[in-house]
Structure 1
C-alpha cells in the first residue's frame, strides 16, 4: 500500500504555526513511509479564496524545504462532488433539513441543559415529501445531513492502529 498524505490549507489567508505543524507532520510521514505528500488547495470557499494566498502558501512551503509531490485543487472536483451527492440522495443516504442556525442552537442548549450530548434529533426525517416541497417552493434552502444507520457497526483498517470497530450509540 502506498502512503499518500496531504496538506490542505484554505487560501483565505496566510499560513500559521498550526498549518506548518500539519504540513511538516504529513510531509515527514510520507517521506518515512516512502509515499507521497500532496498540496491540496482547499479553495471551495470561492468568495474568500484568493490566488495571492495560494502563491504565499507555495512560497512558505518552499522556504521550509517541504517539496510537495503534486498539487490539486478542491474546486476542480466540484463536478465529482455533485455526482456523488446525487448518488447519496438517490440511495436515501442524505436528507434535507430546514432548521435555522438559531433553531439548531436552541436544540443544542436544551440538550446540554439536561446534561445530554447535543446530538441532532433527526426531526427532519419526519417531514413528508409535500412538506419538503412546500418549504422549497417558499424559498427555504435545505442543509443536508448524512443518514446514519445507528445500529450498523463502523469498521475500517487504520494503517497505524489496525482494525477499528465501533457502534455509534453503544455508549449513549
Structure 2
C-alpha cells in the first residue's frame, strides 16, 4: 500500500513562519517517498475559523511552491463525524458532561500538554432519550483503560494512559461543533493517512487519538513530531505573530524558503532556494530536533536553540 500523508492547518488566522515550516517538512517528507499528500483545512471552530484565512493559507502554500494531491475542507465532512458519533454511541462510549473549563482547572491536575486533566467525573451519566443528538450538553468519549503506544519515527516516547493522563475528551461541543480530537481521527482514517508529520506540541494528544482510533476500529498511522519555532519570549509562534509574507526576508518565495530551511536545520544559511532544491537533499537526519527561537529584525534572521 502506498503512503498517504497530510498537512492540516487550522484556519484561525493567516500563515506564519511556524505554519510554513511545518508545511515544508510535511511536503518534503511526502514527496521524498512518493506519497500522496492531502491538504486538509481544519475549519470546524465556528467562532475562530474564517474562509478568508483558509484562502490566505492556500495562497501562501502555493506561492511557496508546495503542491498537494487532494484538498479537503473539514467542515464538509460533518456527516462522517456524525457517523463516527453513532459508532461511539453504539459501543457505549458517549456521555454528556457539563463540567466547565474553570471546574477542570480547579481540579488542579496537570495534563501532559500543559493544560489540566479532566477527572472523568461524569462517566456514570447516560445519554438522554434520543441519544447524543438530543443532548444540549457537551459530549465526551469514554476512552478505553490502559496504556497506548503510538509509534513516533523520531524516537519520541508517545506512551500514555490517556484516560488518566488527559481524561476523556470532549467530542462534541455545547454549540454542536465536533472537536479536533474526533475529527482528526475520523478524517485521517477516511483519507487512508499512513503518516502524520506535525509539530511536537500535538504529541501529548497522540495517545488520545490512538484510543479513539481503537474505539472506531481505525488503523493508526506512523507519526513524526518535529521541532517548534518559538518567539523570543519562549512561546510557540502563533497566528497572532503575523502573516508569513509580512515577515522580514519574505520579499520572494525562494527567500522565505531559504529562511525556513535555515530555521529547521536543512541549510546553514538562509540563502534563497526552492522546495524542489531542498527535496533533492532531504533527509530527516539533517532536521534539527531542538526547538528554535526565531527573531526577524531589520531584515536579518537570528536563530537560537531553545532550552526546552
- Structure-1-length-normalised TM-score: 0.73
Provide, for residues 60-91 of structure 1, a one-character-per-residue CA deviation record: whole Å limited to 9, x for no partner.
11211111122111011101101111210121
CA distance in 1, matches of 2:158, 2:20: 32
Secondary structure of the residue aligned to 2:123 is: helix
Secondary structure of the residue aligned to 2:122 is: helix
CA distance in 2, matches of 1:80, 1:22: 27
Equivalent position of 2:161 in the other structure: 168
Q: Per residue, is there more helix in 1 or in 2?
A: 1
Q: Say if 2:144 is the partner of 1:149.
A: yes
Root-mean-square deviation (Å) = 2.9
Equivalent position of 1:136 in the other structure: none
Change (3 A) 1:47 1:121: closer
Equivalent position of 1:122 in the other structure: 120
The aligned runs of 1:19-168 (5 Å cut-off) are: 19-108=19-108, 111=109, 118-127=116-125, 129=126, 133=128, 141-151=136-146, 153-154=147-148, 158=151, 160=153, 168=161
Change (3 A) 1:123 1:49: closer
Secondary structure of the residue aligned to 1:99 is: coil
Secondary structure of the residue aligned to 2:54 is: helix
Work out the number of aligned pairs and report it: 152
CA contact (8 A) 1:98 1:141 kept: no
- Structure-2-length-normalised TM-score: 0.43
Change (3 A) 1:70 1:60: same
What 5-or-longer segments of structure 2 have no aligned partner? 129-134, 166-308
CA contact (8 A) 1:154 1:167 kept: yes
Which of these two proteins has the greater Rg computed from alpha carbons?
1
CA distance in 2, matches of 1:7, 1:167: 24
Structure with higher RCO (Cα < 8 A, 6+ apart): 2
CA-CA distance at 1:35 after TM superposition: 0.5
Change (3 A) 1:45 1:166: closer
What 5-or-longer segments of structure 1 have no aligned partner? 134-139
